[in-house]
Structure 1
Amino acid sequence: MWSRLFFNWDRGALAAAEVALLLVLVAWTAVAFARISRVAGLLLVPYVLWVGFASVLTWAVWRANPDLL
Structure 2
Amino acid sequence: MPGNVEAARIYRECSGQWRTAGMAGTRIDLDITAVKIVMDLEEVQDQRECLSKVRDIARIVLETKNAES
> What TM bracket, shorter-length normalisation?
0.3 to 0.5
Q: Which has the higher strand share?
A: 2
Structure 1-normalised TM-score? Answer: 0.40
Structure 2-normalised TM-score? Answer: 0.40
- Structure with max Cα Rg: 1
